[in-house]
Structure 1
Amino acid sequence: MTGQHTPRSLIVTFYGAYGRGGAGRPAGPVPIAALIRLLGAVGVDAPSVRSAVSRLKRRGLLVPDRTDAGAAGYALSEDARQLLDDGDRRIYGRPGAGHGTGQAAGGWLLAVFSVPEQERNKRHLLRSRLARLGFGTAAPGVWIAPDHLYEETRHTLARLELSSYVDLFRGAHAGFEPTARSVRRWWDLDELATLHRAFLDAREPVLERWTGGGAPESGTPDLGTLDPEDAYRDYVLALDSWRFLPYADPGLPTALLPRDWPGIRAAEVFAALHDRLYDAGAGYVREVLSATRA
């Protein structure tokens, strides 16, 4: 998951990082010529960009539009903006691994669902969406997540018109086995740890290269010393690898995780790469956009 950079995923990652307006990001549609150059910087050729854009347009995530200068381009749909806004809270909002040190920060969220046999496609969609939100399986038809996912879950199920099939409950785990042992039944922690270690294997050397082997806390970089295109490339690839992990791993309380949980270090490495590279990467995006509008 963390090592496969597809053209479609990289386009979504680019728009999430730099294509939504504000903080130096373009507010309007991104010209197709700029998108081809920007995706070329992360290894995607022009035909693959055009093909992936067509698929994203069919899915309703990108909409064709023209820039103020009249150039053909693509902007995010309102649904896509909402999805990316929801994702920000996951991708950038976690303090590390886990949202608390007790049983769970605010308790647990249960999703109990029943779907008629003649609507089995809805059952498949519901299961896949709960899994993508980071829910674990407590029992057939009963899925569980940390309570901090409540608002996102409610919004997602309503948007997909699945809320009529689901009852949501909030509460505490009352036994009988220790909660930490139950968590190992509800989530495959070994698989999650493998994903975090894969991210670290790929991205920790990148951080070391940018810091000269220094610690992630070594301070804010001097943007004048960073090559904007290199910073952009390394940041987009890191974000494309990272952004799936906060969904696979929903931020379980630290006290319920193994003592050497690699998600803590993975979150630190991504945060350090973001702090070091994001602004310099935004400079490269502005440079490309200026060149394509000239």
Structure 2
Amino acid sequence: MAELRTPRSLIVTLYGAYGRPADGSPFAVAELIRLLHAVGVDAPSVRSCVSRLKRRGLLTAARAADGSAGYALSPDARQLLDDGDRRIYRRPAPRLADGWVLAVFSVPEAERSKRHLLRSRLARLGFGTAAPGVWIAPGELYEETRHTLERLALTPYVELFCGDHVGFAATRASVARWWDLDAVARLHHDFLELHEPVLREWEATSETEEGPRPQAAYRDYLLALDSWRRLPYADPGLPKELLPDDWPGGRSAQVFGKLHERLRDAGERFVRG
């Protein structure tokens, strides 16, 4: 399966993986071009995408340590990536006891652009549709949902509730209506098709005393992270009791976890080199 990768997505992935140093130092433009070239993005595409991300308020122009032009994350972009870390790297095992969060919204027809924004953001957070204007997600997504709605100034249109599902259909049958589980499972299978062979190759490769080869580790890790970081949003993170018995999510999470553990720090040596 060929996966559609975009320069913009890879730039965001690069900043998420390696662009948040404690001192807040930016990437020089020349470094961005070097690092994106290693994953197949040419210099004009890097410059074009960086300009668009700056216009959207995600990157800010700043001077790199050597005085050259560069770009750092804006505070909003850093908060967005910090919120995403919990899902991408540290997502806890979901529990039925955590309950559900409901988002009930009503947007006036004159502001339907906000209705579209609200629906798209709830979907990107992993919400399913329980009924028209009523969206549902596992309870552990409450804090991230609240942050997102506040950041986008959408709170006047939404009410949030936390609670349990008490009927009438069985919860396992209901979640199959609220989410397209077949589509989510295909995303997991696509990830495994692309990146499980990469993991097997690294596991079969003899490493030097210093660990994996930095440039190869960086390339394989960034591409895996670029694929993986969408999945914890498409997959709402349902308790296993509510999922099909052959659910592939656990296996894909394990593959990404092993690639992260094996390659992330080695890749940083290439980034800082």
When the two structures are superposed, what TM-score results if normalisation uses the length of structure 1? Answer: 0.90
Q: Does 1:212 align with 2:204?
A: yes
Residue pairs, 1:142-291, within 5 angstroms: 142-212=134-204, 224-287=210-273
Q: Which runs of 5+ in 2 are unaligned?
A: none
Q: State whether residues 107 and 171 of structure 1, in contact with CA within 8 Å, keep that contact through their aligned partners in structure 2.
A: yes
1:99 aligned partner? 94
Q: Does 1:63 align with 2:60?
A: yes
Deviations 1:172-213 (A, max 9, x none): 000111100000000000000000000000000000000019
Q: State whether residues 2 and 244 of structure 1, in contact with CA within 8 Å, keep that contact through their aligned partners in structure 2.
A: no
1:10 aligned partner? 10
What fraction of aligned residue pairs are identical, expressed as a percent? 68
Deviation at 1:106, TM superposition (A): 1.2
2:37 aligned partner? 40
2:85 aligned partner? 88
Write the distance in 2 (CA, Å) between the matches of 1:222 and 1:92: 27
Q: State whether residues 2 and 242 of structure 1, in contact with CA within 8 Å, keep that contact through their aligned partners in structure 2.
A: no
Deviation at 1:223, TM superposition (A): 6.1
Q: What is the SS of the residue equivalent to 2:11?
A: helix
CA distance 1:135–1:94, shift in 2 (3 Å): same
Q: State whether residues 105 and 146 of structure 1, in contact with CA within 8 Å, keep that contact through their aligned partners in structure 2.
A: no
CA distance 1:75–1:248, shift in 2 (3 Å): same
Deviations 1:263-293 (A, max 9, x none): 1100000000000000100111110xxxxxx
Q: Does 1:76 align with 2:73?
A: yes
Letter in 1 for 2:255: V
Deviations 1:212-256 (A, max 9, x none): 19xxxxxxx766241100000000000000000000002111110
Write the distance in 2 (CA, Å) between the matches of 1:74 and 1:167: 37
Q: What is the SS of the residue equivalent to 1:109?
A: strand
Q: Which runs of 5+ in 1 are unaligned?
A: 214-220, 288-294
Deviation at 1:27, TM superposition (A): 3.4
**What value does the CA root-mean-square deviation take over the aligned residues?**
1.7
